[in-house]
Amino acid sequence: MSDSLFADASKRLQTAMKYASISEDAVERLKYPKASLSVSIPVRMDNGTLQVFQGYRVRYDDTRGPGKGGVRYHPNVSLDEVQSLAFWMTFKCAVLNLPFGGAKGGITVDPKALSKLELERLSRGYVDAIADFIGPDVDILAPDVYTNAMIMGWMMDQYSIIRRQISPAVVTGKPLTMGGSVGRDGATATGAFFAIEAIMPKFDQLPSQTTVAIQGFGKAGSVMAELLARAGYKVVAVSDSQGGIYAKKGLDIPSIRQYKAMGNGITALYCKNTVCNIVEHEILSNQDLLALDVDILIPAALENQITEANVNDIKAKYIFEVANGPITSEADKVLEAKGIYVFPDILVNAGGVTVSYFEWVQNRSGLYWTIEEVNQRLKQKMIEETERIWSISQELAISMRTAAYVHALNRLGEALNAKGTRDYYINGRIS
Ligand code: NAD
């Protein structure tokens, strides 16, 4: 792929614009991020040396509310990636009708190479560097790839120290004792599960007759595997960054989660641990997993996993994007031509930001909800928006991805127009 990730992401906007009721002004505004910040973060390492890391925060749009988006720790983090993720957050928040704009952050680092103390100094250093750029009413952080509740807790604590007031609503995905919400941990997967449950009956696809392969076994992918297996779907393959495992009869997901939690990679399971005794399985690479002949394929790792190079190998009937941006726009066209249904990231993985919104509401009101309340509200939102996007896609005969962008663009366009349209300023007419 020659395009930058952002240039590729923007193509989705161009396709959807034709179908949305949105002014030229609004379209022009949405082509550019509102503000981008690059920072260097000096960290004293355990051996006494100083190492400087690159960090980023991009607020793409805040017309509908404060920026909202996760913080990623990964060696490949770049401004282009963070900007693309902030762009997707803008549309995701609009799809779910959350009162937020889109933002994202990241640090270029291999977190697995740092000690816990180095990781804490890095996380606090990042907040020191971006403190004037964020805030509960400005831009709110959350976990993403290789960040977790503990890191969110450090970030919230550091921001509170800087502001000299406890500020829980600046970060979501915090530990419960620091103002986190019940249900935030599994929210991305739970939301995706509700979307799958809303869609599959439309194809008369019963769980017991549905095979699933999941790429990525982290906060999102592992919970996804567990929820689907519990609901009767046959999860036949899972993978992490080291590789994957496959069993035609279905995998024993709880054992795999338990083994992973002990710090082991998935491929280390192969004929070494209890899972081998429960069900026989084969080892496979991430590329093999993507090419499996399954009903549902769930990319839940990183972007650009299905590209022009491997799209012709894809055999799944339905793809649910739990990861952000796992399919390039060129690969998307091929999948559509092949009749493979793709359910897009800005809908499917929106459960995470939805429960982040619930956490922010709880922090601001000081009243905390039960897991039943959280899940019931999440279910209602996910099903409502999945059905709306399905109807748009049927009515306009467009893909679910384009329909999701149309749905988001209509809401974003309305908000941008409310600030004054070209028609209003040129002709003096209130439109
Ligand atoms: P995580 O760090 O918990 O897990 C990432 C997983 O991907 C790990 O299992 C890792 O081993 C695997 N992985 C890394 N590189 C890989 C590779 N090259 N091939 C295969 N697997 C690889 O992260 P997460 O929070 O589960 O996020 C996964 C995806 O879901 C990301 O795209 C993220 O942006 C998206 N997402 C996460 C949330 C959330 O709330 N956590 C919300 C929305 C979207």
pLDDT tens digit string along 192-241?
999 999 999 999 999 999 999 999 999 999 999 999 999 999 999 999 99
pLDDT at 258 over 60: yes
In the reported structure, the alpha carbon of residue 314 is separated from the centroid of ligand 1 by a whole-number distance in angstroms of: 20
pLDDT at 72 over 90: yes
Task: Answer yes or no: is the C-beta of 350 below 6 A from any ligand 1 atom.
Answer: no
Residue nearest to atom 4 of ligand 1 (CA): 218
Of 81, 217, 219, which is best to mutate to test ligand 1, by the most ligand atoms within 8 angstroms of its C-beta?
Answer: 219
pLDDT at 60 over 70: yes
pLDDT at 275 over 70: no
Q: What is the pLDDT of residues 158-168, one digit of tens each?
A: 999 999 999 99
Atom of ligand 1 nearest to the CA of 345: 44
Task: Answer yes or no: is the C-beta of 382 below 6 A from any ligand 1 atom.
Answer: no
Helix, strand, coil % over all residues of the chain, rounded to 5: 50, 15, 35
Q: How far apart are CA 152 and CA 204, in angstroms?
A: 41
pLDDT of residue 273: 53
Q: What is the pLDDT of residues 103-160, one digit of tens each?
A: 999 999 999 999 999 999 999 999 999 999 999 999 999 999 999 999 999 999 999 9
pLDDT at 430 over 60: no
pLDDT at 62 over 60: yes
Confidence of residue 277 (pLDDT cuts 50, 70, 90): low
Structure tokens at 75: 């060696």
Question: Looking at this protein, which amino acid is placed at residue 44?
Answer: R
In the reported structure, the alpha carbon of residue 365 is separated from the centroid of ligand 1 by a whole-number distance in angstroms of: 31
Task: Answer yes or no: is the C-beta of 251 below 6 A from any ligand 1 atom.
Answer: no
Q: What does DSSP say about strands 50-61 and 102-108: parallel, antiparallel, or unpaired?
A: antiparallel
pTM: 0.94
pLDDT of residue 1: 45
In the reported structure, the alpha carbon of residue 217 is separated from the centroid of ligand 1 by a whole-number distance in angstroms of: 7
Indicate if 202 belongs to the active site. no
Give mean pLDDT, residues 267-271. Answer: 67
Confidence of residue 276 (pLDDT cuts 50, 70, 90): low
Which contiguous run of DSSP H or E holds residue 245?
A: strand 243-246
The full DSSP string for 323-388 is SSS-B-HHHHHHHHHTT-EEE-HHHHTTHHHHHHHHHHHHHHHT----HHHHHHHHHHHHHHHHHH
In the reported structure, the alpha carbon of residue 74 is separated from the centroid of ligand 1 by a whole-number distance in angstroms of: 10
Task: Answer yes or no: is the C-beta of 144 below 6 A from any ligand 1 atom.
Answer: yes
Residues 6+ apart with CB under 8 A from 116: none
Question: Looking at this protein, which amino acid is placed at residue 145?
Answer: V
Q: How far apart are CA 87 and CA 90, in angstroms?
A: 5
Give mean pLDDT, residues 281-286. Answer: 90
Q: Are the beta carbons of 225 and 260 closer than 8 angstroms?
A: no
The mean pLDDT of the chain is 94
Domains of the chain by start residue, with CATH: 33-178 (3.40.50.10860), 187-348 (3.40.50.720)
Task: Answer yes or no: is the C-beta of 260 below 6 A from any ligand 1 atom.
Answer: no
pLDDT at 431 over 60: no
Give mean pLDDT, residues 82-100. Answer: 97
Pick the catalytic residue from 92, 104, 174, 234. 104
pLDDT of residue 251: 93
Q: How far apart are CA 102 and CA 33, in angstroms?
A: 9
pLDDT at 412 over 80: yes
pLDDT of residue 176: 97
Task: Answer yes or no: is the C-beta of 347 below 6 A from any ligand 1 atom.
Answer: no
Confidence of residue 261 (pLDDT cuts 50, 70, 90): confident
Q: Across 109-228, where does the E strand assignment appear?
A: 139-140, 211-215
